[in-house]
Amino acid sequence: MGFGFDNASKTGAGEPGQPVIRAFVVHLDRARDRMPQVERLMAQLQVPCEIVEAVDGRRLTKAEIDRVYRRRLHKPTYPFELSTGEIACFLSHRKAWATIVEQDIDAGLIFEDDVEVDDLFPAAFAAAKACLTAGAFIRFPFRMGKEQGRSVLTQGRTTVIRPVRIGLGMVAQLVTREAAVRLLEATEAFDRPVDTFVQMSWLTHVSPLAVLPGGVHEISSQLGGSTIKSSRTLMERLSREVLRPLYRTRIALRSRRSI
């Protein structure tokens, strides 16, 4: 099967017997300098594509934050307090998952708006579609060499693996409707960034796969920098350097027990 679906209307209906897939680009409305990149990305995708307006951390009220954010909610404990940008990012992905469910499609191809695809992406997307079973969540990593695991599919030079420890980053993923439902149920309240929450398959009941190479690149530095990072004091940065590897070790140990 080639990249995308051969339906001239691009309604997402697909061919008979083929899954209905639509693409969603999570984009913050005030980040207008990213719009040319969003339009370029959408033009490259051979499935119906639309923008999901990201939640703006600057507009979140305390009541809205308190409704979803619960510090130290799950084990292993996440050692850092989330910024409003990280909370907004999590809510933006929940919004994309909810859109998949509301549109009642088989799967959504979700991109953040600082993503660029390359010539390897068509093969990565084809391999992901070949693994598209009920409940599947398939990541397109932008960092090579960060994930290892058992191969579940090989097509040419593209491999789909079940990672021992799920990698970080949410730049691009193919999410089935069933996985979106489970993720929404598991994240009605959260205590850590969305990518670290997705690592906890024992809580989400979603076991992500990863396509290698993913054929995607994170290019926020070319677009003015991240829209969610906040400034930190020297002491906060030093604290993170100590606590982050300890937390990641705990996640790795828990992940191995869940395989």
pLDDT digits (tens, 9 = 90+) for 98-132: 999 999 999 999 999 999 999 999 999 999 999 99
Sheet of strand 172-176, all strands in order from the earlier edge strand to the far edge: 49-53, 21-27, 107-112, 172-176, 137-139, 209-212, 158-163, 149-155
Flag whether 16 is in a domain.
Answer: no
Task: Say how far apart CA 249 and CA 158 lie, in whole Å.
Answer: 29
Sign of CA dihedral 171, 136, 12, 140: positive
DSSP character string of the chain: --SS---TT-SS--STTS--EEEEEEE-TT-GGGHHHHHHHHHH-SS-EEEEEPP-GGG--HHHHHHHB-TT-SSSPP-SPPPHHHHHHHHHHHHHHHHHHHHT-SEEEEEETTEEE-TTHHHHHHHHHHT--TT-EEE--SSTTS--EEEEEEETTEEEEEESSPPS--SEEEEEHHHHHHHHHHTSSBSS-HHHHHT-HHHH----EEEES--EEE-GGGGTS-SS-----HHHHHHHHHHHHHHHHHHHHHHHHH-
Please check whether residue 217 lies inside any domain of the structure.
yes
Predicted confidence (pLDDT) at residue 144 exceeds the cutoff of 90: no
Is 7 a domain residue? no
CATH number, domain with residue 40: 3.90.550
Q: What is the rounded (10 degree) CA torsion for 257, 186, 23, 255?
A: -10
pTM, full prediction: 0.88
The pairing of strands 115-117 and 158-163 is unpaired
Structural domain includes residue 80: yes
18-32, 44-58, 62-76, 244-258: least confident range: 244-258
Distances in Å between the Cα of 123 and the Cα atoms of 20, 24, 48 are 18, 19, 18
Token pair 């990518």: residue = 195
For residue 250, tell me if it sits in a domain. Answer: yes
Question: In angstroms, how far is CA 29 from the centroid of its own chain?
Answer: 19
Residue 212 is assigned to a structural domain of this protein: yes
- Does residue 12 belong to any structural domain of this protein? no
Domain residue limits at 135 = 21-258
Sign of the Cα pseudo-torsion (163, 124, 102, 113, in order):
positive
Ranking 5-14, 84-93, 195-204, 226-235 by mean pLDDT, the lowest is: 5-14
Is the predicted pLDDT of residue 220 greater than 90, yes or no? no
Answer yes or no: is 1 within a domain: no
How far apart, in whole angstroms, are the C-alpha atoms of residue 210 and residue 196? 15
Q: Quote the pLDDT of residue 231.
A: 67
- Would you state the pLDDT for residue 5? 33
Which one is predicted more confidently, 25 or 2?
25
Number of structural domains, the chain? 1
